[in-house]
Chains A and B, each alone.
Chain A
Amino acid sequence: MSLLCEPPRPSRRAVLMTGGALFAWAYLPRFARAADDRDPRLIVIVLRGALDGLSAVGPVGDPDYAGLHGDIALSLSGPHAALPLDGFFAANPAMPVFARLFKASQAAVVHAAATGYRERSHFDGQDVLESGFSGPGHVATGWLNRALESLPAGERVARLGGLAVGPSTPLVIRGAAPVLGWAPQSLPAPAGDLATRVLDLYQHRDPVLAVALRTGLDADRMALDDQMGANPMKPKGGLDSAAGMRQAAQGAARLIAADDGPRVAALAFDGWDTHVNEGGATGRLATLLGGLDGAFEEFEKGLGERWKDTAIVAITEFGRTARINGTVGTDHGTGTVVLLAGGAIKGGRVIADWPGLKPAQLYQQRDLAPTSDVRAVLKGLLADQFGLSAAVLGDKVFPDSGAVKPMMNLVA
């Protein structure tokens, strides 16, 4: 699809900056940065296990919500009252930071969203979410990495590569573009020149391991430099614990805030598969949401000056059943939320074409029906933050998704 028959719809900012020169749009951020010191960053948090969107951001104004979600439904009254976002939706009380950012127009919600995947396997669902392909079975590269690859060679965002937080690299950022890996340090560093010698051996015998090890050593050095060599971070918990999520964000923020640090990052938080005793305003899911909220707070603090240029997006493979199951939890479903936060976000909005929760309105009579495509949100962010064209986004970053139009104006 050529640009002529499919004109991209740039954000207001893009139009102002280019003065209508749409063909230059794909390279815009470079000029934009020169003009207004904008230096965009994008952080992707993958919530693995399928987040119950109806318990994260509850449609408290929907008359059918309380009946379906039963004991775990959020409510505006009571000891753990949900935090109202607008007249209809309210955030889980475990997310005060998110609610505060929302009020400050630095956070937004896209509700009733799903990828193009309509089955209910976590693993296929995650593959689709992270690979960016329309179906499962593509596990070599992720959309965020291909977005980096699609930027003009030598462009700063592309040159600085991506950041993967945690002991293994999430699929969403795997691929040919360089990726730095980092996790809280846990072991004493080797003495002498062992690292140099091993690197030398790898360069001769195993180039793949050479790149991996060098990248790992570099990341470690950066994280340490930033702390002036003081106490390296000890792991506080896995990425399925609130403390672990907060700590991962703290470390990632340091690396991303650096002038020569990566401009895009991926984190994966586990544990959202709440089949049993999910809890509502308090309990298991609320604890995890509190961890995610803590991560938002750490990013806000750690990014400092760069917070204003940052967009954070939290996505999950699919939602959960609208009706609670027999064990006060929820089973695998379809529509859910996308959470957006960051100084760059044009926030204070719940973006939803609300499908309703009456039996006939539910997808297959069990799930929140999807009315927004998660890929549209991600495309909108990539377009606004890095100037990727709709054609590249529909072709290379999210293959065969030309019909899914980028959601515009997510970035202020």
Chain B
Amino acid sequence: MRWRADLAVPASNSPPDPTLVAFNRFGLGARPGDRDRLGADPRGYLKAELRRPDVAMISLDDPAYAGVLGSTAAIQASMAARFQRRLDRSLMTAAAEQAANVPAATNAPVMASAPLKVGAPASPPSAAPAKPMPAAPPVEAILYRAEAQARFDKALRAEAGFVERLVYFWSNHFCVSVAKNNIVRASAGAFEREAIRPFVLGRFADMLMAVERHPAMLFYLDNQQSIGPDSRAGRNRQRGLNENLAREILELHTLGVGSGYSQADVTSFARILTGWTMAGREGRLGEPGSFVFNANAHEPGDEVLLGKTYPAGGMGQAEAALNDIARHPATARHIATKLARHFIADEPPPAAVAHLARAFTKNDGDLRALAAALIDIPEAWSTPLAKMRSPFDYIAAIRRAAGPGPTNEPGQSLNWLNALGEPLWRPPGPNGFPDQADSWASAEGMKIRLDIAWQAARQVKDIGNPSDMLDAVIGPSASPETRQAVARAESKQQGLALLLMAPEFQRR
């Protein structure tokens, strides 16, 4: 049995319905009424979305996105919570010791200044240290949910959703993982809002710069504690160079693997990046939780990267290097290939890749121009819709088709993402989640999509006629078999679940 998804979609010589291409290949799926609003010009509709001011932004001032914080404030909250936990622990240890020494259990008031958790005297003092009472969710979890909610809300509100898809593309390209530690857990959502969204229709070099200096990335790829061996800090302390960020910038963020850089380039770039770090809780280097350049940790001296010498120059050394590799031809090819694979086909047409690479270089990495070039590629409109929606896009499409779910609360969507193997901001590695159709058309994945479609359909209060929904969401190009399956369902719920499982809803 062949598993190659692109081979097995029923052959069809006619190109796919352009409105379906606009909503499914480029966007997040049609909401009821969207297909009518699009009118007769799908390309123009997508380009109009690119021109809308601040279309990619989630603003802290927007009351619709209450509960999200800037990364500096988020990280400060996380650091403060960590400090408090340590304090609690030492107080608890002290309390336990005291309880062991003083037989009477009436010594609790002595600890009046300690937080509530210390309260209840432990059963027998000789047993394990007193367990804290069930605590409120940690601040990082609260922030993560607020950020997730903002992302799902934004997906619901988007017109075609092309710009959101671009945000997800770049966020996966420059991924961080909340599995790393609490700093990243607290700031992964802010990272996307601060380092990805403002530049998704701006310049690649600017996005690269914002990403690599963001605390979430500096922690995720270990640069915050990489120290130049001959820097002042390096000579005084035991710690030294960590080449993780340098390697992944070259391999994943810019040039791409096999593009000609060497181990020596990686090490040299790692030295260039030393000193790019985050100010700690005590604020000795700057505002706690914000990016700082720590000159004391920066490796002194000139460095050679990809054959070019970057003279010693503190923070400017890495900025100059990043500016150059952002404009390197290998970067243009790497980005063009990934973008074409994401939006057109697993094996993207070489002409489309070449066209995008040219557009990237010609416009100096202007990502709005690059997105417009993508819309203009004929293959984007003629290639059969054979890719699979990623789990996030599938869930967003379900919400857009069937409504936001029972509560204004991201828990269910987050659980669905976990079950489908694409937990939000938690990729398996710095190369992000996979982007090939067969990664998402796995046996287990399809079984779970079935469960999700059913759960989603059951939640909708007033479904109306599922066949009308099929017309509104997929349109006239829905296959006769899909049309019949939805029409003959034994209940409205089942009809809607069939629509959400239909190949036209899964593929893009």
Residue ranges of A at the interface with B (Cβ–Cβ < 8 Å): 48-49, 120-124, 136, 139-140, 164, 166-169, 174-176, 178-183, 186-195, 197-198, 200-202, 204-209, 211-217, 219-220, 235, 238, 240, 270-271, 273, 275-276, 325-329, 331-332, 364
Q: A189 to B451, Cβ gap below 8 A?
A: yes
Q: B242 to A331, Cβ gap below 8 A?
A: yes
Q: Contact check: which of B4, B242, B443, B479 meets A325 at CB < 8 Å?
A: B242
Interface membership of B200, Cβ < 8 A? no
Q: What are the nearest 6 A-B pairs in CB distance?
A: A326-B240, A167-B421, A216-B447, A181-B443, A190-B454, A215-B443
Bound complex: CA of A238 vs CA of B7, how far in Å?
Answer: 32
Set of chain A residues within 8 Å of B1, measured between Cβ atoms: 176, 178, 211
Bound complex: CA of A379 vs CA of B353, how far in Å?
Answer: 39
Bound complex: CA of A203 vs CA of B431, how far in Å?
Answer: 34
Q: A202 to B431, Cβ gap below 8 A?
A: no
Decide yes or no: A198 and B450 within 8 Å by CB, A167-B421, A206-B503, A331-B243 being known contacts: yes
Q: B8 to A124, Cβ gap below 8 A?
A: no
Task: Choose, from B65-73, B219-227, B319-327, B395-403, the stretch at the interface.
Answer: B219-227
Set of chain A residues within 8 Å of B506, measured between Cβ atoms: 206, 209
Q: B444 to A216, Cβ gap below 8 A?
A: yes
Set of chain B residues within 8 Å of A326, measured between Cβ atoms: 225-227, 229, 234, 238-242
Q: Contact check: which of A121, A139, A168, A215 meets B421 at CB < 8 Å?
A: A168
Q: Contact check: which of B419, B438, B450 meets A213 at CB < 8 Å?
A: B450
Q: Contact check: which of A167, A190, A197 meets B442 at CB < 8 Å?
A: A167
Set of chain A residues within 8 Å of B239, measured between Cβ atoms: 326-328
Q: B242 to A174, Cβ gap below 8 A?
A: no
Interface string of B426-453 (1 = CB under 8 A from A): 1011110010101111111111101111
Set of chain B residues within 8 Å of A182, measured between Cβ atoms: 443-444
Bound complex: CA of A211 vs CA of B442, how far in Å?
Answer: 9
Within 8 A of A (CB), among B244-263: 244, 247, 251-252, 257-258, 263
Set of chain B residues within 8 Å of A208, measured between Cβ atoms: 2-5, 7-9, 441
Least CB separation from B455: chain A residue: A187
Interface membership of B485, Cβ < 8 A? yes
Q: A216 to B445, Cβ gap below 8 A?
A: yes
Q: A205 to B479, Cβ gap below 8 A?
A: yes
Bound complex: CA of A188 vs CA of B421, how far in Å?
Answer: 17
Task: Choose, from B74-82, B102-110, B124-132, B489-497, the stretch at the interface.
Answer: B489-497
Bound complex: CA of A326 vs CA of B230, how far in Å?
Answer: 12
Least CB separation from B5: chain A residue: A208
Bound complex: CA of A176 vs CA of B434, how far in Å?
Answer: 20
Q: A195 to B441, Cβ gap below 8 A?
A: no
Interface string of B400-433 (1 = CB under 8 A from A): 0000000000000001101111010010111100
Within 8 A of A (CB), among B31-77: none
Interface membership of B279, Cβ < 8 A? no
Q: B439 to A212, Cβ gap below 8 A?
A: no
Most chain-A CB neighbours within 10 Å: which of B222, B258, B442, B494? B442
Least CB separation from B238: chain A residue: A326
Q: A331 to B244, Cβ gap below 8 A?
A: yes
14 A-B pairs within 8 Å (CB atoms) are namely: A123-B252, A136-B257, A136-B258, A187-B451, A201-B498, A202-B503, A206-B8, A212-B3, A212-B443, A216-B445, A270-B429, A276-B222, A328-B239, A329-B222
Set of chain A residues within 8 Å of B450, measured between Cβ atoms: 190, 194-195, 198, 213, 216-217
Q: A198 to B448, Cβ gap below 8 A?
A: no
CB distance from B445 to the nearest CB of A (A): 6
Interface membership of B481, Cβ < 8 A? yes
CB distance from A13 to the nearest CB of B (A): 33
Most chain-A CB neighbours within 10 Å: which of B252, B434, B444? B444
Interface membership of B502, Cβ < 8 A? yes
Set of chain B residues within 8 Å of A216, measured between Cβ atoms: 442-448, 450
Interface membership of B116, Cβ < 8 A? no
Set of chain B residues within 8 Å of A166, measured between Cβ atoms: 421, 444
Interface membership of B501, Cβ < 8 A? yes
CB distance from B348 to the nearest CB of A (A): 15
Set of chain A residues within 8 Å of B421, measured between Cβ atoms: 166-168, 183
Set of chain A residues within 8 Å of B383, measured between Cβ atoms: none
